[in-house]
Structure 1
Amino acid sequence: MTDGDKRLRVAVLGCGAVGSQVVRLLSEQRDDLAARVGASVELVGVAVRRLDAPREVEVPEGLLTTDAAGLVTRDDVDLVVEVIGGIEPARGLILSALENGASVVTANKALLAEDGPTLFEAAAKAERDLYYEAAVAGAIPILRPLRESLAGDKVTRVLGIVNGTTNFILDKMDTSGAGFSEALQEAQELGYAEADPTADVEGFDAAAKAAILASLAFHSRVTASDVHREGIAEVTAADVASARDMGAVVKLLAICELRGDQVAARVHPAMIPRSHPLASVRGAYNAVFVESEAAGQLMFYGPGAGGAPTASAVLGDLVTVARNRLAGTRGAGESAYADRAVQPMGETRTRYHVAIDVDDRAGVLAAVANAFADHDVSIQTVRQEGRGADAQLVVVSHAAPDAALSATVRQLREMDIVREVTSVMRVEGGDE
């Protein structure tokens, strides 16, 4: 784009659920985009794997190509939108685009969480923008508030439901009493879960998003491998019912916290009080709860996935990057000046809800309490359910190092009076 050429030329990599909606919005909102940017926005190419694959939108003739590498290095491409996902070839294509002078908008959470620094360094070297609002929570504007709106504040905690598939499953288990397998099957039938749901139900998707959130919130490099990850496959209907009995609900949470001079980042199912704002997030929706020193508590809520919502975030980034390009400036790049270490999960302070099948005889409660005391874990509440062969103790602890709580559970499982530890789940929110 030259000074006399008021056109911004855009190449799109991928034309699936998100890419097709990006193409549609670029066409339908052409005039509005030109007015907002200050120059016309022209789609000059769409890279796909197969030219004859069925698509949700009709791509203008002559724009489809299977040569993604050639597209991103064209001299007339000013901005590349990457929505193919995965690590390769996405990483190589983004690096080539930046090296060739194009700015980049991406929705690739997995790549950013694994190798974000390489991309940010390439963008800085090329003096080009790399924007990625669509990588976390779909249409919900959460990354830009962390990067820009709260830049003058100190964020201390980010707590979020960032995976719609798992939220749908857990919500169905809570409202209908269904088991995990039954709720997963319904999610697949409705299109909320993939045929292979591993990335969602095992927490990989949420962990990548947690890494991105923690990196932005705490100005430190956090990768997906730094995030403690547990999925929801082991959550039972009994767990959900027990949460209901104590006025709580089970959610898969991404939790990023500032702990002194360290960052704690984890993804796992947890019980949260029904009074907590995140407890009311239903179905496949997402929400992110942010706590900061000056602004206090903020919550961002909306559709966290889907072609059109995610494309909305992509287009928002595209407008910003296009304006920067016209002005000859760049937006904020990576902010990793704090360089905080990631706290090991064993040192992270958490709370546990533990359900224990025990022998109903004198001294059982004292023995269980002693097991917690042996590891310096304070008990908040204890309740007994049933009698005789069906006796069960439900213990909720105060906050303690996760390693101490895990050691407590191991000791309980070795005790003669304990028939089985039937449920172990962390507890978040509420008063201790």
Structure 2
Amino acid sequence: MTTADVLGRACETVSALELDRVPPESIEKALRIIADCFAVSVAGHRTEPMSALVAADTKGGLVTGGTERNPFHRSTVWGGGRAPAHHAAFLNATAGSFLELDEGMRPTGHPGMQLVPAAIAVAEEVHASGTELLRAVIAGYELSARLFRAVRLRPGAHPHGHVGALGAALAVSMVRGTDIRAATAIASTLPLASTWQACYDGATARNAYMGHAAAVGVRSSDLARAGFTGSFASFGFSLGELLGEGLDETALADELRYEKLAIDAGYFKVHSACALTHTAIDAALDLLESEPLAPDAITSVRIDTVAAVRKVDIEEVPNDLSCRFSISYAVAAALATGTSGPEAFRFRPDIAALARRVEVHVDPQLEERWPVSSPARVRVEVDGRVLESLVENPTGHPPRVLSREVHFEKFAAAISDPDRARDAWARIMDLPRLDDAGSLLGW
């Protein structure tokens, strides 16, 4: 069986998902992923670049703002206004990447933000039911997760912008009731050569990797309806050879296992940084629970962790995004501020100076636990003493899942308006009973 055959079969397998066979806990996880993506994107829309982009698009007619109405703009821009589905998906997914708070899975990808904005935009456009939207999200996540596990990217190639587009295309086609294989094959033909280097440099254009995947998901369905064709085989070449070092087809070929859906294995972030930094951030914050530490008194910091974390063992450049991708800066920020939210990653020279005293080492014993666990040990030398904390998995990852109450706190903080947060959370949690997704975000 060729790669094209396996990909096509995987699309058929996951798109046959029966919602009434999905366990209640998996339904709740999917609803919380939708809620998380929405709230994180709303917070991202408040950043200056996103506000400026939406304002420019409104001025240029790509977004309809305020009380104006455009019958062709039927999808909500979560920072305000409405737009065609593909453009709303692009803006919302791009905004969702800005603060590095989007959900993900290990190893290693972020399916939700690449497909949820696309699925919601199209569900609004066609007035799909809540169950239709929910079913499409779970199936799209399943396909994306299988692809993330199947693809072995080359060092330096980043997972955003290509694999997630296939899950988005599948979800969009399920919502629209259009040809799933045709759209997903087109998305397979449109990968993005995304890189880790852009993250290290703090190039905020990198945040559009997510937007690209979401928009490609919608436009692939448009192209399929117009008669364009795609190539599953090209995905095997571009991701298996050009950007990757092989494709594990066995990860794609499984039948649906309702007791072990991919959506169950995802995690939610509580730290505003690359997920690879999170265990070490937790360990650093644990040390502060016993006593406050004066940054100037810290002689050295040692992080023992797994080899995958080497991707973020870099010296930051002085901007917020680069700081989020430096484990040394992330741990220094946690030790210096006692926090790990967006404000902790505003570049500060004093934190950068502390980051220069951080060393990162791969521990073979810890490495044996990856990827089931993502352990890190942080040792801080201060005032002639050595303080140590070992954390097996970050907060929000299995088995340290967020309770619904704690997750709502994250959601509400991202929305920033308590009344709207309560209303939006209730609407999303009630999605299976919603007749028309067009009213999902009807504030």
Normalization by structure 2: what TM-score? 0.25
Q: Return the structure number with greater strand share.
A: 1
Larger radius of gyration: 1
More RCO (CA 8 Å, sep 6+): 2
Q: Return the structure number with greater helix share.
A: 2
